């Protein structure tokens, strides 16, 4: 087993390889605990403790939606402490931008969502930070790390915005911004090491990147499995929830955790490492003219394309890299400034194979071809079950993505991997992604109002299961919507049982296509506005899960309208009311 970034000397690595060879899962787990114990007592290997008075101050500011930035902020803080900083971590969800004036050294890690939007709980912070009211930040030394996804148009826009704005406010950039793609670890590690060294003061101590990686990967303390070392989980059940006649295909999937020691909380997400479909690999190989069994490192090209690389996503960024190798003059015209708009519409609905066929190249090698590809990223799904109800299991609600474009049937890489390529009894690679921004209230008496149309229902199945298992006395009100009552009422029988037993206090439904006028959950919210406001006033937590581009916005507007109408407030006051709820963690969203 070869591990990238391994801190081991070659002979140590060899020993480790011998030891790990042929371990069963329990043995591996035991050993991981054993080594964890050793690392705890290996304090002597760390730099000597520096008196706190002498420590340089570092502010770590993060804006996090799914928890990645939050996790990395923790990594930054821990790493910085070891490097002699006194680190303070601040969330854009709680902090005030003006307090940045007090910062000396500042590291920002922020993710970008949707159409170049800030994380959900950083919207207010972002608006204030960009406004004219923001004080100057002269004297602040900073560096920014943006998290994003090159498959979106506004890649790392937040990172770029914060970077530019900090400079405009007079702060001093001591280290260049990093723009991380989905597979962020290496970029992040390099940025962090560079940034910590760039701050003035005592000479930088040795910062070992593996230490960063180790902290990152073991963050959350949930066993030995993570994104880089996923758990092989057996599929126990897989069923399409939509009735015959539906236009939708939403899968309910049950996965086994038996013996893994893995745990999760309702609100967490599950990462699945997909496998590219054999037919797609074949198409891509055919279009490159490369052989399936071409050597690539210690594997074959076909294997690498199947497991390691994203061979479907097509974005201008990939076309850029592509043409660096291919050097096609016509394609280059599209990559130039005037051609860019045409390129954007050309890639829309197309995939890598279309590019390979449209601008063929005869001289690909396995190395040059994979060199332009991104790593195949895992996909996150909101967990639909509670461990209290389903011991040793995790359930998901996955919409199979299928469409036809530019003469080809296309399938979602991960959703259709689950839908078509694996069956009950097969194993899939999974890991848990904890999300502290989507949590049930600790107080079981607190009322909970959940808004989750479509697959947005998933975490609320987990929530309601959890509340039922806990015997929580608080009221539960669920808003669900989809196309048709008859086919698309996800988990209907379970909701009917919860209504009957009283666990579910109320269930409001919006089936958009059962009548002439389209009806959505926000309409149901508005219909019941007086009661919704009463719930808010009585301390209810409001949760929204599902589509970010429209639903979450419409629902948020409906909530503000309700606050305005039934609370007798101006639009600005209503916005502030909801923002206060968000800060108090009483308004949480898990939208995508």
Partner 1 sequence: MATTIGKSANEGIKDASQYLRGTILDGLANAATGSLSKDDQQLTKFHGIYQQDDRDIRGERRKKKLEPAYSFMIRVRVPGGVATPAQWLEMDRIALEHANGALKLTTRQAFQFHGVIKSNLKKTIYEINQSLFDTLAACGDVNRNVMCNPNPHQSKVHAEVLQLATAISNHLSPRTGAYHEIWLDDGTGEKVKVTYDPPLIDDIADPEEPIYGKHYLPRKFKTVVAVPPSNDVDIYAHDLGYIAILEGEDKIAGYNVTVGGGMGMTHGNEETFPRLADLLGFCTPDQAVKVGEAVVRVQRDHGNRDVRANARLKYTIEKMGIDAFREEVEKLCQFKLQAPREFHFEDNGDRYGWIKDHRGHWHFTLYVENGRVYDTKEYPLLTGLRAIAKIHTGDFRLTANQNLIIADITPQQKSEITELLEQYGMIDAHERSAMRLHSLACVALPTCGLALAESQRYLPDLITGIEAVLEEAGLRHDAITIRMTGCPNGCARPYIAEIGFVGKAPGKYNLYLGGGHAGQRLSKLYAASIRGDDAPQILKPILLDYAKQREDGESFGDFVIRAGYVKETKDGRDFHKDVVEPALTV
Q: Binding residues for partner 1, per CB under 8 A?
A: 239-244, 252, 485-487, 489-496, 499, 507, 509, 514-515
Name the minimum Å distance from CB 253 to partner 1: 13
b vs e for 304-318, b when ≥16 Cβ sit within 10 Å of the residue's Cβ?
bbbebbbbbbbbbbb
Strands (DSSP E) contained in 295-426 are 295-296, 299-300, 309-310, 374-375, 379-382, 393-399, 402-405, 408-411
Name the minimum Å distance from CB 491 to partner 1: 5
- CB closer to partner 1, 115 vs 497: 497
CA distances from 235 to 243, 398, 428 (A): 22, 14, 7
Kindly state the DSSP code that residue 229 receives in the 8-state scheme: B
Name the minimum Å distance from CB 241 to partner 1: 5
Kindly state the DSSP code that residue 182 receives in the 8-state scheme: S
Q: How buried is residue 244: exposed, middle or buried, by Cβ count under 10 Å (0-12/13-18/19+)?
A: exposed
Reference 555, options 523, 509, 592; nearest CA is 523
DSSP 5-31: T--S-HHHHHHHHHHHTT--HHHHHHH
- CB closer to partner 1, 438 vs 495: 495
CA 206, chain centre distance (Å) = 31
- CB closer to partner 1, 203 vs 500: 500
- CB closer to partner 1, 458 vs 578: 458
In this structure, what token pair is assigned to residue 374? 């991104």
Name the minimum Å distance from CB 240 to partner 1: 7
Name the minimum Å distance from CB 490 to partner 1: 8
In this structure, what token pair is assigned to residue 439? 């949590």
Residue 267 — left, alpha, or beta (φ > 0 → left; ψ -120 to 50 → alpha)? Answer: left
- CB closer to partner 1, 188 vs 381: 381
Reference 32, options 261, 207, 234; nearest CA is 261
- CB closer to partner 1, 239 vs 330: 239
- CB closer to partner 1, 169 vs 384: 384
Name the minimum Å distance from CB 487 to partner 1: 8
- CB closer to partner 1, 369 vs 491: 491
| Alpha carbons 194 and 169: distance in angstroms, whole number | 23
The neighbouring-strand residues paired with 375 are 309
Name the minimum Å distance from CB 243 to partner 1: 5
- CB closer to partner 1, 86 vs 389: 389
Name the minimum Å distance from CB 340 to partner 1: 46
Reference 437, options 266, 551, 574; nearest CA is 266
CA distances from 405 to 71, 131, 246, 287, 511 (A): 38, 42, 21, 18, 28
- In sequence order, the 6+-apart residues with CB closer than 8 A to the CB of 421 are 275, 277
What is the SS3 assignment for 403?
Answer: strand
Name the minimum Å distance from CB 329 to partner 1: 54
- Provide long-range contacts, Cβ within 8 A and 24+ apart, for 131-138: 134/97, 134/98, 134/165, 134/169, 135/98, 135/101, 135/169, 136/101, 136/169, 136/170, 137/100, 137/101, 137/103, 137/166, 137/169, 137/170, 137/171, 138/169, 138/170, 138/171
Name the minimum Å distance from CB 538 to partner 1: 24
- CB closer to partner 1, 204 vs 499: 499
- CB closer to partner 1, 238 vs 429: 238
A 10 A CB-CB count for 567 gives 13
A 10 A CB-CB count for 409 gives 8
Name the minimum Å distance from CB 418 to partner 1: 16
Name the minimum Å distance from CB 509 to partner 1: 5
Name the minimum Å distance from CB 461 to partner 1: 10
Reference 59, options 111, 104, 97; nearest CA is 104
- CB closer to partner 1, 87 vs 457: 457
- CB closer to partner 1, 152 vs 487: 487
């Amino acid at each position: 087993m070869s591990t990238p970034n391994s801190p081991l000397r070659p002979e140590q690595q060899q020993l480790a390889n011998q030891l790990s060879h042929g371990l069963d899962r329990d043995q591996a787990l035991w050993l991981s605990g054993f080594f964890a114990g050793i690392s705890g007592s290996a304090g002597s290997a760390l730099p000597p403790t520096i008196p706190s008075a002498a420590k340089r101050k570092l502010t770590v500011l993060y804006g996090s939606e799914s928890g990645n930035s939050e996790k990395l902020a923790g990594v930054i803080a821990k790493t910085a402490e070891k490097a002699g900083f006194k680190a303070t971590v601040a969330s854009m969800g709680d902090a005030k931008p003006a307090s940045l004036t007090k910062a000396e050294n500042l590291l920002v890690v922020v993710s970008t969502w949707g159409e170049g939007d800030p994380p959900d709980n950083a919207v207010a912070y972002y608006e204030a930070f960009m406004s004219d009211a923001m004080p100057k930040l002269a004297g602040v030394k900073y560096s920014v790390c943006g998290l994003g996804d090159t498959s979106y148009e506004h890649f790392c826009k937040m990172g770029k915005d914060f970077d530019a704005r900090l400079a405009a406010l007079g702060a001093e950039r001591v280290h260049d911004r990093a723009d991380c793609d989905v597979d962020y670890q290496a970029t992040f590690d390099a940025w962090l090491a560079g940034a910590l060294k760039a701050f003035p003061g005592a000479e930088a101590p040795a910062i070992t990147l593996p230490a960063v990686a180790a902290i990152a990967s073991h963050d959350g303390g949930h066993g030995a499995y993570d994104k880089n070392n996923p758990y092989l989980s057996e599929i126990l059940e897989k069923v399409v929830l939509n009735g015959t006649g539906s236009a939708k295909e939403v899968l309910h999937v049950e996965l086994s955790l038996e013996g893994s020691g893995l745990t999760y909380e309702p609100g967490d997400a599950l990462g699945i490492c997909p496998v590219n479909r054999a037919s797609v690999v074949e198409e891509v190989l055919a279009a490159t003219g490369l052989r399936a069994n071409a050597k690539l490192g210690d594997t074959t090209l076909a294997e690498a394309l199947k497991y390691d690389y994203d061979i479907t996503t097509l974005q201008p960024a990939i076309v850029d890299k592509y043409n660096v190798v291919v050097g096609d003059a016509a394609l280059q015209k599209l990559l130039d400034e005037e051609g860019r708009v045409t390129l954007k519409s050309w890639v829309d609905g197309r995939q890598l194979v279309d590019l390979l066929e449209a601008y063929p190249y005869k001289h690909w090698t396995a190395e040059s071809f994979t060199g332009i590809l991104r790593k195949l990223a895992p996909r996150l799904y909101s967990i639909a079950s509670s461990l209290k109800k389903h011991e040793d299991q995790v359930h998901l609600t996955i919409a199979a993505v299928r469409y036809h474009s530019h003469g080809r049937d296309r399938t979602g890489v991960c959703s259709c991997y689950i839908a078509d390529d694996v069956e009950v009894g097969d194993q899939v690679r999974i890991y848990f992604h904890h999300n502290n921004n989507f949590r049930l209230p600790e107080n079981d008496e607190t009322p909970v109002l959940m808004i989750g149309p479509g697959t947005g229902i998933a975490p609320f199945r987990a929530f309601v299961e959890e509340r039922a298992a806990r015997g929580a006395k608080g009221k539960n009100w669920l808003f669900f919507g989809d196309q048709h009552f008859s086919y698309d009422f996800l988990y209907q029988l379970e909701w009917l049982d919860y209504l009957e037993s009283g666990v579910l206090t109320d269930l409001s439904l919006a089936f958009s296509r059962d009548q002439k006028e389209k009806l959505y959950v926000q309409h149901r919210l508005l219909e019941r506005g007086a009661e919704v406001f009463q719930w808010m006033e009585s301390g209810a937590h409001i949760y929204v899960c599902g589509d970010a581009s429209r639903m979450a916005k419409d629902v948020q507007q409906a909530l503000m309208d309700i606050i305005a109408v039934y609370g007798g407030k101006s639009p600005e006051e209503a916005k502030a009311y909801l923002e206060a709820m968000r800060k108090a963690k009483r308004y949480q969203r898990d939208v995508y």
